[in-house]
């Protein structure tokens, strides 16, 4: 019940901020010439609450239509529904997306189907920021037990669950729950409870922006997506050996690569302390439209409960490495934007 109450509060706050954003946008357009850009004209809130079955259906339609005359992306389908229903997916069934898809294929434009073009534009940008790097073209790289590499060109889901395949974990929707260590605050991530040493993998390809100890997150890794809009935060990693060998700030990592190991560090000013009572991975996703949102008051963090369940369909397998107790990925994805 507490989790549901937190979600209702966040939904109401999100709808209020969205309305304010639209009203401010309209006022700015009236007051300023069209050629003059509005100050601080960027998204400041996203109420992302799309159920896993809806995400899965949208992905299926996206992949099935990629080689057709009318490719309908999953962000487009989700944005159309959100614009027509005020951002609520409570009554959305997977078949409802099929109807929107069929209408698009029949020749109807997205703007006509959306009913509200301003809301459609907002959700397209917002959902595109959250989901934009998760589906697309990629090269699948696999390594067999002898170290031989094979590559396959693919289109589809190219993001992974944050925990490797073969390792049990439990979770519940804890976004917005109260936290008291240090100061009272809301939990802006998703906890996955598992065993110490479970391999943690990069959900998406990107660059390591933060690495090391944090009083609240313990040993943690922060990875920024290639387009700069998503910041993935992995915290409370294992004591003594929290990271995969060779990990360092500024490094490029591929989706599916092992980056560290689940633990219970943190809640301590002193480094390398197990200040957490239950082993778990704190998994967070921050969305960034403007550089002021990185550390400012207007940060955007996403409720990852349903999205994590969606990503569970793609868990990276691992195998024992040369060093005892170490594990490495046997599959990872390279995006077209990969560095040379």
Predicted local confidence at residue 337, as pLDDT: 83
For the chain, give every domain's residue range: 2-131, 137-334
Structure tokens at 90: 């409570």
- Burial class of 80 by CB neighbour count within 10 A (0 to 12, 13 to 18, 19+): buried
Structure tokens at 129: 């920021």
Pairing between strand 230-235 and 199-201? unpaired
Predicted local confidence at residue 173, as pLDDT: 86
For the chain, the farthest-separated pair of C-alpha atoms sits apart, in whole angstroms, at: 66
Nearest to 327 by CA among 314, 318, 315: 318
Alpha carbon distances (Å) from 182 to 179, 190, 215, 221: 9, 19, 9, 21
Predicted local confidence at residue 188, as pLDDT: 80
Predicted local confidence at residue 339, as pLDDT: 76
Give dist(CA 265, CA 285) in Å, integer: 20
**Beta pairing partners, 274:** 266
Predicted local confidence at residue 38, as pLDDT: 42
Judge contact between 208 and 253, C-beta under 8 A.
yes
Predicted local confidence at residue 141, as pLDDT: 94
Q: Tokens 């019940």 label which residue?
A: 1
Burial call 15-38: b when 16+ CB within 10 Å, e when fewer: eebbeebeeeeeeeeeeeeeeeee
Predicted local confidence at residue 248, as pLDDT: 96
Nearest to 120 by CA among 97, 155, 96, 87: 87
Chain-centroid distance of CA 282 in Å reads 13
Structure tokens at 161: 């669950």
Q: What architecture is domain 137-334?
A: Distorted Sandwich (2.70)
Nearest to 127 by CA among 187, 43, 201, 190: 43
Predicted local confidence at residue 119, as pLDDT: 95
Alpha carbon distances (Å) from 82 to 11, 100, 122, 204, 316: 13, 12, 10, 25, 31
Residues 6+ apart with CB under 8 A from 130: 46, 48, 230, 285, 287, 302, 307
Chain-centroid distance of CA 101 in Å reads 24
pTM: 0.86
Q: Which long-range contacts (CB under 8 A, 24 or more apart) does 133-136 make?
A: 133/158, 133/159, 133/204, 133/205, 133/225, 133/226, 133/227, 133/229, 133/230, 133/335, 134/158, 134/159, 134/204, 135/59, 135/62, 135/63, 135/73, 135/74, 135/159, 136/335, 136/336
Predicted local confidence at residue 24, as pLDDT: 42
Q: What is the mean pLDDT of each run of 10 residues along the chain (340 residues)?
A: 48 47 38 40 92 97 94 97 95 92 94 92 97 95 88 97 97 77 74 97 97 95 97 97 96 96 96 96 96 90 96 94 72 86
């Amino acid at each position: 019940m507490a989790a549901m109450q937190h979600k209702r509060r966040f939904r109401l706050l999100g709808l209020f901020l969205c309305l304010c954003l639209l009203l401010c946008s309209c006022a700015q357009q009236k007051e300023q010439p069209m050629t003059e850009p509005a100050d601080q004209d960027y998204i400041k809130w996203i109420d992302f609450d799309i159920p896993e079955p809806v995400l899965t259906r949208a992905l299926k339609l996206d992949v099935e239509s990629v080689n057709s005359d009318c490719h309908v992306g999953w962000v487009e389908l989700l944005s159309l529904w959100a614009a027509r229903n005020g951002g609520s997916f409570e009554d959305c069934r997977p078949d409802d997306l099929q109807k929107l898809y069929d209408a698009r294929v029949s020749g109807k434009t997205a703007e006509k189907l959306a009913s509200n073009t301003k809301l459609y534009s907002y959700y397209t940008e917002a959902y595109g920021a959250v989901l934009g790097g998760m589906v697309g073209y990629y090269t699948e790289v696999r390594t067999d037990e002898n170290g031989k590499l094979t590559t396959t060109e693919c289109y589809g889901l190219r993001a992974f669950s944050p925990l490797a395949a073969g390792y049990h974990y439990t979770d519940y929707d804890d976004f917005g729950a109260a936290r008291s260590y240090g100061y009272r605050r809301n939990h802006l991530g998703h906890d996955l409870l598992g065993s110490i040493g479970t391999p943690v993998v990069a959900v998406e390809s990107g660059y390591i922006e933060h690495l090391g100890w944090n009083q609240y997150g313990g040993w943690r890794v922060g990875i920024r997506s290639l387009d700069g809009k998503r910041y993935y935060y992995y915290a409370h990693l294992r004591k003594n050996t929290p990271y995969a060998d060779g990990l360092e700030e500024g490094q490029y990592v591929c989706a599916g690569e092992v980056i560290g190991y689940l633990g219970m560090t943190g809640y301590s000013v002193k480094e390398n302390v197990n200040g957490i009572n239950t082993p778990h991975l704190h998994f967070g996703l921050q969305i960034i439209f403007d550089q002021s949102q990185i550390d400012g008051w207007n940060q955007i963090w996403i409720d990852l409960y349903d999205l994590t369940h969606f990503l569970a369909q793609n868990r990276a397998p691992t195998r024992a490495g040369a060093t005892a107790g170490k594990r490495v990925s046997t599959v990872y994805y390279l995006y077209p934007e990969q560095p040379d």
